[in-house]
Structures are given as structure tokens and as C-alpha cells.
């Protein structure tokens, strides 16, 4: 049995890693400023660690500070690196989507397939963590029509 206690992104859980579908590669350079990206804990952002898996990929440029979290107990990024504007867009647009499947109109899986079709992207790429600001806005608009 693997123990979760001493897991780090350098020593991730093999089980948790195998469970992530369509894993994105870890970012090495920032998509905004092209500075190197480093592995940190989210206390670097918030002042203290949050969550069971407080690891993030963080841009080393102190005036940029784009970051992205990781899937629990893995080194797999949750999506693409995000600056404040993109983090806000993702946070702001996802609840409208969640309403659709939480209300029981569709299953969660079906809702992602439906949204992917509407957006004209493969279902495997339909993750808010992967979206750009424009895609977040598009997703929100689509979801508002049926929510």
C-alpha cells in the first residue's frame, strides 16, 4: 500500500496519477512572461497552506506570479497556468455550468460533452482549468441559455 503521508510532486501517488484522464504536461515556462516555473506550496500565494494537496506550479517572475494547482497527490497540473484575470474568469464562469448538472438536467459527464459540442472542442479538452478567458465567457453564455 502506498502511503499518502510522504507524497510530494516529486514522489506522487501512482494510483492518483493513473486516475487522471488527459493529463497535461507540467509547465516549465510561464505562458505569459516566459519565465521559468517552479514547484511551490500555495502558502507562497496565500500565506498558509490550503487543502490536502497544497502544491502549485508558480511563475518565478515576482511581477507575474501566474500559477496553477495540481491534481491531488500527483504532479499533474489542474490546467494551464493562470494569471489573476484568467483565475477570476474560471471562478466566475464555472458555477453556471455546475448548475446545469447539479440541477439534474444532465449528468455531469453529459454536461461536459454537451458543452464541448456547443463550443466546438473535443470533450477531452472541455475543462474550465484549460480554458482561456474568451472560452470561459463563451461557456458561461452557452450555459446561461439553458440554466
Residues that bind Zn ion (CB under 5 A): 30, 32-33, 35, 59, 61, 64, 66
Toward Zn ion, which CB reaches closer, 86 or 138? 86
Nearest distance in Å: CB 18, Zn ion: 30
Toward Zn ion, which CB reaches closer, 32 or 101? 32
Residues whose CB is less than 8 angstroms from the CB of residue 120 and which lie 6 or more positions away in sequence, other chains included: none
Q: Are 56 and 44 within 8 A, CB to CB?
A: yes
Closest CA to 30 of 8, 71, 60, 54: 60
Nearest distance in Å: CB 30, Zn ion: 3
Toward Zn ion, which CB reaches closer, 57 or 131? 57
Nearest distance in Å: CB 103, Zn ion: 38
Q: Are 41 and 50 within 8 A, CB to CB?
A: no
Toward Zn ion, which CB reaches closer, 32 or 130? 32
Task: Tell me how far apart the alpha carbons of residues 56 and 70 are, in angstroms, rounded to a whole number.
Answer: 6
Amino acid at each position: 500500500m502506498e502511503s499518502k503521508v510522504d507524497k510530494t510532486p516529486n514522489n506522487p501517488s501512482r494510483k492518483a496519477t493513473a486516475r487522471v484522464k488527459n493529463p497535461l504536461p507540467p509547465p516549465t515556462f510561464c505562458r505569459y512572461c516566459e519565465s521559468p516555473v517552479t514547484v511551490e506550496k500555495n502558502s507562497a500565494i496565500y500565506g498558509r497552506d490550503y487543502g490536502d494537496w497544497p502544491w502549485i506550479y508558480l511563475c518565478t517572475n515576482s511581477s507575474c506570479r501566474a500559477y496553477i494547482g495540481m491534481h491531488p497527490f500527483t504532479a499533474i497540473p489542474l490546467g494551464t497556468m493562470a494569471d489573476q484575470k484568467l483565475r477570476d474568469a474560471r471562478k466566475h464562469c464555472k458555477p453556471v455550468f455546475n448548475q446545469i448538472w447539479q440541477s439534474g438536467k444532465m449528468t455531469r459527464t453529459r454536461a461536459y460533452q454537451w458543452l464541448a459540442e456547443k463550443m466546438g472542442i473535443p470533450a477531452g479538452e472541455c475543462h474550465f482549468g484549460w480554458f482561456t478567458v474568451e472560452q470561459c465567457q463563451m461557456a458561461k453564455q452557452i450555459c446561461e441559455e439553458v440554466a
